[in-house]
Chains A and B, each alone.
Chain A
Amino acid sequence: MPKITIDGKTAEVAKGTTVLQAAQALGIVIPRYCYHPSLSISGNCRMCLVEVEKSPKLLTACSTEAADGMVVRTDSDKVKAARRDVLEYLLINHPLDCPICDQAGECGLQDYYMEHSRAKSRFPQEDKVRRQKRRALGPHLVLDNERCILCTRCVRFCSEVTKTSELEVMERGDHSYIDLKQGKALDNGYTLNLADICPVGAWTSRDFRFKQRVWFLKRTPTVCLGCATGCLMEAHHNDGVLYRLVPRPNAETNTWLCDHGRMTYKAVRAGDRLAKGVIKNGLIELEPALREAAGRIDENHPAAAVLGSPWLSVEDNAALARLAKDAIKTENFCFDFPGAQGVKDGILINEDPAPNARGARLVKDAYGGIALEELRARIVDGRVKTVVTEARAAAFVRDAVKASGARLIVFATNRADIPPAAYATLPYACYFEVPGTFVNFQGLRRRAEPSVAAPEGVRPLWALVNRLAAYSGASLHLDSAADALKEIVFK
Chain B
Amino acid sequence: MISVKKVDNRPLNLLERLYLPEIARGLLVTTRHFFVNLFNPKGMPTVQYPEKTIPLPHAARTRTRHRLKVRADGSPKCVACFMCQTACPAYCIRIEAAEYPDNSVEKYPAVFDIDLSRCVMCGMCVEACPEDAIAMDTLEIPGGALTRSEMLMTREDLLRNLPGEAPSVLGASNRLANEYLKSKGEQ
CB < 8 Å neighbour of A97 from B80, B82, B86, B173: B173
Q: Using an 8 Å CB-CB cutoff, how does the interface string of B130-147 with A read, 1 for contact, 0 for none?
A: 110000000000000000
**Complex formed: what's the CA distance from A213 to B106 in Å?**
15
Q: Inside 8 A of A99's CB, which chain B residues have their CB?
A: 79, 81, 83, 107, 130-131, 171-173
Interface residues of A in 126-174 (CB under 8 A from B): 133-134
Contact in complex: B175, A125 (CB < 8 Å): yes
Asked whether B28 is an interface residue with its Cβ less than 8 Å from the other chain, the reply is: no
Q: What's the A-B contact tally at a CB cutoff of 8 Å?
A: 49
Q: Inside 8 A of B104's CB, which chain A residues have their CB?
A: 133-134
Contact in complex: B81, A100 (CB < 8 Å): yes
Q: Inside 8 A of A405's CB, which chain B residues have their CB?
A: none
Asked whether B98 is an interface residue with its Cβ less than 8 Å from the other chain, the reply is: yes
Asked whether B22 is an interface residue with its Cβ less than 8 Å from the other chain, the reply is: no
Contact in complex: B82, A213 (CB < 8 Å): yes
Asked whether B97 is an interface residue with its Cβ less than 8 Å from the other chain, the reply is: yes
Q: Which secondary structure characterizes the binding site on chain B? A: loop
Interface residues of B in 72-122 (CB under 8 A from A): 79-83, 86, 97-99, 104-107
Contact in complex: A104, B107 (CB < 8 Å): no
User: A138: shortest Cβ distance to chain B, in Å?
Assistant: 18
Contact in complex: A100, B107 (CB < 8 Å): yes
Asked whether B181 is an interface residue with its Cβ less than 8 Å from the other chain, the reply is: no
Q: Inside 8 A of B27's CB, which chain A residues have their CB?
A: none
Asked whether B36 is an interface residue with its Cβ less than 8 Å from the other chain, the reply is: no
CB < 8 Å neighbour of B97 from A96, A98, A104, A210: A210
Interface residues of A in 221-237 (CB under 8 A from B): none
Asked whether B162 is an interface residue with its Cβ less than 8 Å from the other chain, the reply is: no
**Complex formed: what's the CA distance from A302 to B130 in Å?**
71
Asked whether A78 is an interface residue with its Cβ less than 8 Å from the other chain, the reply is: no
**Complex formed: what's the CA distance from A210 to B106 in Å?**
10
Q: Inside 8 A of B79's CB, which chain A residues have their CB?
A: 99-100
Closest to B105 in A: A100
CB < 8 Å neighbour of A134 from B86, B106, B130: B106
**Complex formed: what's the CA distance from A210 to B79 in Å?**
11
**Complex formed: what's the CA distance from A209 to B81 in Å?**
12
Asked whether B56 is an interface residue with its Cβ less than 8 Å from the other chain, the reply is: no
**Complex formed: what's the CA distance from A317 to B131 in Å?**
54
From A100, A125, A134, name the one whose CB has the most chain B CB atoms within 10 angstroms. A100
User: B132: shortest Cβ distance to chain A, in Å?
Assistant: 11
Contact in complex: A104, B81 (CB < 8 Å): yes
Asked whether B38 is an interface residue with its Cβ less than 8 Å from the other chain, the reply is: no
User: A388: shortest Cβ distance to chain B, in Å?
Assistant: 42
If the complex has contacts A98-B130, A210-B80, A210-B98, are A125 and B86 also in contact, measured as CB distance less than 8 A?
Answer: no
If the complex has contacts A98-B81, A100-B79, are A209 and B176 also in contact, measured as CB distance less than 8 A?
Answer: no
**Complex formed: what's the CA distance from A215 to B176 in Å?**
25
User: B98: shortest Cβ distance to chain A, in Å?
Assistant: 7
Q: Inside 8 A of A16's CB, which chain B residues have their CB?
A: none
User: B110: shortest Cβ distance to chain A, in Å?
Assistant: 9
Q: Inside 8 A of A133's CB, which chain B residues have their CB?
A: 104, 106, 176
Contact in complex: B173, A215 (CB < 8 Å): no
Interface residues of A in 84-132 (CB under 8 A from B): 95-100, 104, 125
From B86, B105, B171, B176, name the one whose CB has the most chain A CB atoms within 10 angstroms. B176
Closest to A144 in B: B106
Q: Inside 8 A of B80's CB, which chain A residues have their CB?
A: 100, 210
Closest to B172 in A: A96
User: A88: shortest Cβ distance to chain B, in Å?
Assistant: 17
User: A439: shortest Cβ distance to chain B, in Å?
Assistant: 40
**Complex formed: what's the CA distance from A98 to B106 in Å?**
12
Closest to B98 in A: A210
Contact in complex: A95, B86 (CB < 8 Å): no
**Complex formed: what's the CA distance from A210 to B97 in Å?**
6
User: B88: shortest Cβ distance to chain A, in Å?
Assistant: 12
Contact in complex: B97, A215 (CB < 8 Å): no
Q: Inside 8 A of A209's CB, which chain B residues have their CB?
A: 99
Closest to B104 in A: A133
Closest to B95 in A: A213
The interface of chain B, by Cβ under 8 A from chain A, is: 79-83, 86, 97-99, 104-107, 130-131, 171-173, 175-176
Q: What would 25 A/B residue contacts be, using CB atoms closer than 8 Å?
A: A95-B175, A96-B172, A97-B173, A97-B175, A98-B130, A98-B173, A99-B79, A99-B107, A99-B172, A99-B173, A100-B79, A100-B80, A100-B107, A100-B173, A125-B175, A133-B104, A133-B106, A134-B104, A134-B106, A209-B99, A210-B98, A210-B106, A213-B82, A213-B86, A215-B86
16 additional contacts (CB under 8 A) given A99-B107, A210-B98, A213-B81: A97-B172, A97-B173, A98-B172, A99-B81, A99-B83, A99-B130, A100-B79, A100-B80, A100-B105, A104-B81, A125-B172, A133-B106, A133-B176, A134-B104, A213-B82, A216-B82
